[in-house]
Structure formats: C-alpha cells, structure tokens
Amino acid sequence: MVDGAGRLEGDDREIVTFHAPEEPGLARLEVTVTQGDVSVSAEAMITVTDSLLPEAKDKSAKEHGLPGYTFKRAPGELWRSRYDAGQNLIVINNGNRDFVYASRNRALKLRYICRLFAKEMVCRNFPGQPRDQLLERMIELSTYTEEHLR
C-alpha cells in the first residue's frame, strides 16, 4: 500500500485481498512482479464507497478474474461484443464492419479490442448504474488501458 487506509491479505501470493477501511476514501496500491532479471511495476487506485450495489442473483457474478475473449463472425449484425457470463468470456463480432476496418492496422485493432473489453467490463462491474456514469467509467478505463498499450 502506497497511500490510504485499508489492509492487504496474502500479499505474498498470486491473489491478494484488499480489506477496505470503515470510512470511504482512496487507497493507492503498487505491485512489482519479477521473473528472472525482468521486473515490472504497476499502480492501482481503489475507491472505497459508503455503499455497495445490490448483489447479482446469478452465480456467475461471483466469478473472479478477468474474462478471456474469442471471436464470432457475424457479418451484417450490428452487435460488436457480448459478455458470455456462463463461460466468463467476451465474444467479439469479427464480422462487424468496425472490426473489419480496425483490422487493417495491428495497433488500431488492438485499441478497438481494448475498447470493447472496457465496454463489457464496465457493464459487468457496474450493473444498474445510470448510462452517463457507465460512459464516464468506460472513458476512465479506456484512458488508463491505452496509456499502457504497446
């Protein structure tokens, strides 16, 4: 923990649990991973609020970790991506005209997939939030993610 209140559990393992403090606030975490002579660091900001969203009723909401993604070719259909909760997988329509356009350049394709991933993650993690707040979260996530794309 770099800044803020809260407590980490299992900080010597692959999965770490953050225990929030009683009072709302911000906490800043830093992680460094080393393999051989390669070392990589990252920071995360955690917002602790005074209330939680109601729990989702389906069991897939309790799954942890980032979903994977796969492609489904559906040309002529308007959808760009969908979240498959049963498999914890983001399905990307690689027949959509936007995907086809983005595929002409590797960096553009990567940014496009990143935006779809951000859209699905925001919708999944903030159920019931107003549309304007979802869009703000998506912009936030896209900004942080694209900063680290190479």
pLDDT band at 53 (very low <50, low <70, confident <90, very high): low
Q: What is the maximal distance between C-alpha atoms in the chain?
A: 51
Q: CB neighbours (10 Å) of residue 93?
A: 22
User: Residues 3-34: pLDDT tens digits?
Assistant: 888 899 988 887 888 898 887 777 888 988 88
CA distance 8 to 15: 11
pTM over 0.75: no
Q: How far apart are CA 8 and CA 16, in angstroms?
A: 7
Question: How far apart (Å, rounded) are the C-alpha atoms in residues 114 and 131?
Answer: 20
Average pLDDT of span 72-100: 90
Residue 18: partners with Cβ closer than 8 Å, 6 or more residues away = 6, 7, 8, 9, 27, 29, 46
